[in-house]
């Protein structure tokens, strides 16, 4: 691969060892009990794997591409765990860009070290993309912000140590704060309650749930940033989550492909492995492989550009998520068929990838919405 070198080969080997020893044994428990991977996150932090993405100024490695390799390898074994790690940049990038040293020291650095879990709470029942209709408010009272309202579909709900919450600035207090703001709310703040945790088709182990804020008070210093309320905020903030989620889709597609290929090379009809016996099957594998490699080229090209400081990648990042979602789902679906009856059996752990692929089409922004962002720029 053009982007690999000796250092990255060693990194990938270390990630593979980590994923085999820490993640694979936990997959069944996650599937069956929805257990959150706190311990996995803590260990990844200790090994410096989360720091791969964080900027050098705060002690990270500042490498999008290396973090992409991490997400890819982890997602081969568990797309859900991969997405837990993908949610870390989503939950901390705006916190970093607000540039407040206290918030960075208290929240971002422990997150980079795997000691804290972030969450990003934007979506409301009016529709995840209808920012202008959101009703959660932040009012200024003295040197505090008072939050009232609710959020839904928040990844890491009930498991996070802090939430970055998108609020409408409550009139008459909006000037000079813009019409909306992002506020950091620690999980243990009085007035914040965790509501229902959803039972999803996939991503078992990733907690997705509701938050309620009732006269929830945080100091004014927790105000991260203010902005004007419009949909461009969603579009502008979309490329980071889009490209990290796409890395997880790539890993998920590779993971299910590799398992299925190994099975078909082993499974015999008569004396011959079905992979050898049926040309149609080899062609299907070849098609799937081509789709995976196409996706890899797109994703790692974007990651390499980001590392060079070229941020003019929004459209390609959104394309990677939209096409990655389609490719992951298609590969997982075909793999079920390639394995025959055994592909449908839960214990064989193939259908999990298909269920996870469905969730990735929506979590971290739906692929229809991202397609609409691209369409609006035509
Ligand atoms: C597993 C999971 C994790 C999530 N994690 C988070 C999180 O951490 N934080 C958070 O804030 N939200 C999160 N979400 C919410 C997610 O962003 C929304 O579900 C998504 O934006 C769709 O919104 P909705 O569910 O309200 O559907 P609706 O808005 O009702 O959408 C219905 C349909 O309309 C389409 N649609 C909506 N808007 C547009 C548009 N502008 N252009 C074209 N089509 C459109 C949708 O794609 C969908 O097909 C998560 C969701 C899931 C399922």
Query: Percent of the chain having pLDDT more than 70?
Result: 95
Greater confidence, 229 or 97? 97
Name the one residue in this structure whose structure tokens are 């591409």. 65
Q: Is the CB of 132 under 6 A from ligand 1?
A: no
Test site for ligand 1: of 93, 119, 129, 162, most ligand atoms within 8 A of the Cβ: 129
pLDDT at 175 over 60: no
Q: Is the CB of 126 under 6 A from ligand 1?
A: no
Average pLDDT of the segment spanning 160-188: 83
Average pLDDT of the segment spanning 325-341: 98
Q: pLDDT band at residue 364, thresholds of 50, 70 and 90?
A: confident
pLDDT at 290 over 70: yes
Q: Is the CB of 79 under 6 A from ligand 1?
A: no
Same domain for 242 and 355, yes or no, is: yes
pLDDT at 101 over 90: yes
Nearest CA to ligand 1 atom 17: 365
Give residue 18's domain range: 6-116
Q: pLDDT band at residue 238, thresholds of 50, 70 and 90?
A: low
Q: Is the CB of 197 under 6 A from ligand 1?
A: no
Same domain for 251 and 214, yes or no, is: no
Q: How much distance in Å is there from the Cα of 368 to the middle of ligand 1?
A: 9
pLDDT value of residue 236? 46
Residue 1 lies in a domain: no
pLDDT at 174 over 80: no
Tokens (6 digits) for 119 = 């969450």
Could you tell me which residues are beta bridge partners of residue 147?
138, 216
* Average pLDDT of the chain, as a whole number: 93
CA-CA-CA-CA torsion sign (43, 69, 314, 131): negative
Residue 186 lies in a domain: yes
Q: Can the peptide bond before residue 69 be classed as cis, meaning omega within 30 degrees of 0?
A: no
Stretch among 145-154, 323-332, 362-371 having the lowest mean pLDDT: 362-371
pLDDT at 173 over 80: no
CATH label of the domain that carries residue 40: 1.10.540.10
Residue that is last in its domain, among 229, 249, 283: 229
pLDDT value of residue 77? 98
pLDDT value of residue 170? 73
CATH label of the domain that carries residue 247: 1.20.140.10
Could you tell me which residues are beta bridge partners of residue 167?
181
Nearest CA to ligand 1 atom 39: 369
Report the half-sphere exposure of 137 (CA within 13 A, side-chain side): 12
pLDDT at 233 over 80: no
Q: Is the CB of 251 under 6 A from ligand 1?
A: no
Q: pLDDT band at residue 231, thresholds of 50, 70 and 90?
A: very low
How far apart are alpha carbons 145 and 122 in whole angstroms?
A: 17
pLDDT at 43 over 70: yes
pLDDT at 140 over 90: no
pLDDT value of residue 162? 97
pLDDT value of residue 171? 67
**Nearest atom of ligand 1 to the alpha carbon of 200:** 1
Query: Percent of the chain having pLDDT more than 90?
Result: 80
pLDDT at 232 over 50: no
Q: How much distance in Å is there from the Cα of 133 to the middle of ligand 1?
A: 14
pLDDT value of residue 91? 79
Structural domain count of the chain: 3
CATH label of the domain that carries residue 194: 2.40.110.10
């Amino acid at each position: 691969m053009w982007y690999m070198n000796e250092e990255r080969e060693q990194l990938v080997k270390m990630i593979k060892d980590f994923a085999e020893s820490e993640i694979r044994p936990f997959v069944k428990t996650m599937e069956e009990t929805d257990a959150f991977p706190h311990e996995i996150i803590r260990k990844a932090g200790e090994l410096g794997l989360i720091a791969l993405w964080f900027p050098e100024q705060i002690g990270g490695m500042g490498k999008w591409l290396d973090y992409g390799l991490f997400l890819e390898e982890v997602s081969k074994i568990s797309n859900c765990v991969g997405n837990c790690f993908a949610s870390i940049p989503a939950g901390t990038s705006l916190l970093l860009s607000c540039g407040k040293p206290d918030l960075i020291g208290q929240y971002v650095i422990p997150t980079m070290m795997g000691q804290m879990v972030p969450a990003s709470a934007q979506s409301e029942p009016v529709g995840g993309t209808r920012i202008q209709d959101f009703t959660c408010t932040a009012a200024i009272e003295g040197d505090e912000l008072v939050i009232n309202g609710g959020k839904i579909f928040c990844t890491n709900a009930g498991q996070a140590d802090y939430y970055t919450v998108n609020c409408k600035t409550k009139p008459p207090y909006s000037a000079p704060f813009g019409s909306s703001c992002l506020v950091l709310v620690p999980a243990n703040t009085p007035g914040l309650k965790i509501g229902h945790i959803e039972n999803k088709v996939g991503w078992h182990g990733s907690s997705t749930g509701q938050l309620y804020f009732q006269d929830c008070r945080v100091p004014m210093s927790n105000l991260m940033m203010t902005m004007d309320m419009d949909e461009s905020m969603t579009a502008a903030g979309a490329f980071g989550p889009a490209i990290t989620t796409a890395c997880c889709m790539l890993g998920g597609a590779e993971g299910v492909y590799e398992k299925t290929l190994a099975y078909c090379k082993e499974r015999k009809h008569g004396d011959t492995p079905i992979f050898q016996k049926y040309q149609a099957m080899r062609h299907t594998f070849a098609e799937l492989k081509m789709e995976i490699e196409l996706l890899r080229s797109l994703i790692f090209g974007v990651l390499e550009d980001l590392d060079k400081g070229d941020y003019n990648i929004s459209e390609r990042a959104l394309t990677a998520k939209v096409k990655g979602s389609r490719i992951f789902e298609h590969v997982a679906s075909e793999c079920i068929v390639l394995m025959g009856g055994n592909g449908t059996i839960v214990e064989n752990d193939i259908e999990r990838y298909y269920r996870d692929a469905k969730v990735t089409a929506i979590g971290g922004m739906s692929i229809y919405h991202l397609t609409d962002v691209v369409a609006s720029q035509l």
